[in-house]
Structure 1
């Protein structure tokens, strides 16, 4: 995969597709790891004399988080330490003029690409309108690489393209996991469907060494194994987690030695947290893994050669039930194995833990794309870059 570091970008009009999509609090953009990472790529391109044009999306039409990228531009300006100009359009004369005025090292941000009705079409309007005005296209986010949208894959058909530094780092980290023969997975959180998909693939291939369960997934598997899960039964029924009961039973039947369940849990009761073994759950609601499970999981993590963690062990937002999540993150940070962390709640829990991020192999900025990669699915954005490298190889060589 060609990266932007391999190209001579001085004086070139470089269109970079970042993922600036951010949570909003009281209508304001929350600064997050994705924006911080993309700001670094953008600054580096600017330092090398590129004329940088940034495109991204924010939210979906009709949703509360569908906004312009004006505030994102202000944040990028602060993070990159460069003047960054916002253009309140995506295509058209105003955009074309702004690109034409760009000088080496200057940066502009176009408005939300989802203003265009055909953005979800790989051959959308933005591709035809902007292609004559750019020299290179840079895809800088694995988090959007699973979408076959115009701003993600369209330009790879029309201009020389490459991976940005953020995307390149993500792919390198994923390849380390992909090429590992034995991987220990730590799955928690509430997105059971995603975890079940990964479990099925890796267990069937014989490449999952152990799978340690927490969160809603552990509740489902405990129930599948015949344990009384107390009030948590209502939870898995209301949330649809119980729909994966047959999958859980099938995997337990085939791979019981690979799937490791909690031996004790932290229950939420009227008077607070109560730890008990899984045989004595009774009426409480499972909100965390227990101390014996923490010890068990930490020991298995220590013996692992590669680790993938996605999702918290419990309701980490409440301090009394964050113990399991924080303890497992600490065990991963102390492991000598390469570790890949993914999922929004995992990253939030990591920030809450105050643990040093540099002690983890890689903290992924991707969500759904990470899961699809682990499920063995081809990501359209990555496929498009690979095809572009073949189709534009001569042109890229001549320009450099």
Structure 2
């Protein structure tokens, strides 16, 4: 890896613009302190100990969504005497940055509240116009969103000495180990459109979560009530029929669930495909699917797991996800567990925390895009592909 890491940067007495990913789960309007905040804090600590003035850019949610919030709570969760400024490019932000001393940390407000965050090549981009003159070094510690072509991820690196933070470094080193043809992909979660990127690469694939259900729909299986839920949840653009047709052509090497668990009068109850009740939503994969998938995982040379197998937030329907993670920990080869949801399942389980995984990633979409061979905008801005040649 030829990207500059923190050890390659002399930050003493300089102002460092740090792009962190503090995006967290929100429950009843409160931000939860998850792994991203904990891990991001390690880079902040390193920079502070080296005498830098640290200005943090981060986001929470997307405009128009319920989880699109101010970062004031994030500052409190970070601790470390982080000063929150409810501004990004206005007078408050400029004054706060100019008044910083060595070891100070300022967290600016949600960068996605600035329209120019989504327009990195706009002439006179306000983020670049205001912040560039105030900083000496740019550090990207947000690998998890580095597949996004956003100003805070691609706009600063070409204008200032740049490098990557501790979390970014850990993620990219692990991913460079897993990009291999004989890797078993275990694809779950609720973002089926993006999972298609990994199909057709010759790898064996296990499909669970909502992705497993939509693969079965592509084969012609009718779920009844669940079909409408799949359309609404998985498809953001294009027609449902077109999506299924595209998916159907890629099903040859995919292992699919053969049974599912539903919420039957408040209790977990399992049904095979032949007798699946049309009026229920699917909450998890069933026992037979779990056994079958776990055998495949344990025999794999290496494995990449993305997303939960079911509704992991509910104890009744966490079984598929937990058993798959147990099998991954027994895999003899390198294992990569991807996505914030799975890292939270592991963090909340004392049993799973004691298990060994090759790497537990906090990145979902960026991790998947990297493994699929796509060039990530944030990596490109840092010169990753140039320094490594025409990397595919």
TM-score by length of 1: 0.84
Gap change, CA 1:269 and 1:137, over 3 Å in 2: same
Matched, 1:222 2:216: yes
Aligned to 2:390: none
Aligned-residue offset at 1:321: 2.6
Aligned to 2:151: 150
Structure showing greater radius of gyration is 1
Alignment of 1:66-81 (within 5 A): 66-77=68-79
Aligned-residue offset at 1:336: 2.5
Matched, 1:306 2:302: yes
Alignment of 1:154-303 (within 5 A): 154-178=155-179, 180-199=180-199, 203=200, 205-206=201-202, 208=203, 210-225=204-219, 227=221, 229=223, 231-236=225-230, 239=233, 243=241, 244-252=243-251, 255=252, 258-270=253-265, 272-281=267-276, 283=278, 285=280, 286-303=282-299
Gap change, CA 1:284 and 1:383, over 3 Å in 2: same
Aligned to 1:324: 320
Aligned to 1:136: 137
Aligned-residue offset at 1:51: 1.6
| RMSD over aligned Cα atoms | 2.7
Aligned-residue offset at 1:361: 1.9
Match of 1:375 among 368, 372, 377: 372
Contact 2:192 2:234 in 1 (8 A): no
SS of 1:309's partner is strand
Runs of 5+ unmatched residues, structure 1: 391-400
Match of 1:365 among 362, 366, 371: 362
Gap change, CA 1:128 and 1:224, over 3 Å in 2: closer
Aligned-residue offset at 1:194: 1.5
Aligned-residue offset at 1:266: 2.9
Moved more, 40-49 or 371-380: 371-380
Aligned-residue offset at 1:371: 2.8
Aligned-residue offset at 1:68: 2.8
Gap change, CA 1:99 and 1:218, over 3 Å in 2: closer
Q: Deviations over 1:204-241 (max 9, x none)?
A: x32x1x21121222223334445564654454455566
Matched, 1:86 2:81: no
Q: Deviations over 1:66-98 (max 9, x none)?
A: 333222222212xxxx32222333235543443
Contact 2:340 2:361 in 1 (8 A): no
Higher share of residues assigned helix: 1
Match of 1:384 among 370, 381, 386: 381
Gap change, CA 1:108 and 1:303, over 3 Å in 2: same
Runs of 5+ unmatched residues, structure 2: 388-392
Q: How many residues align?
A: 375
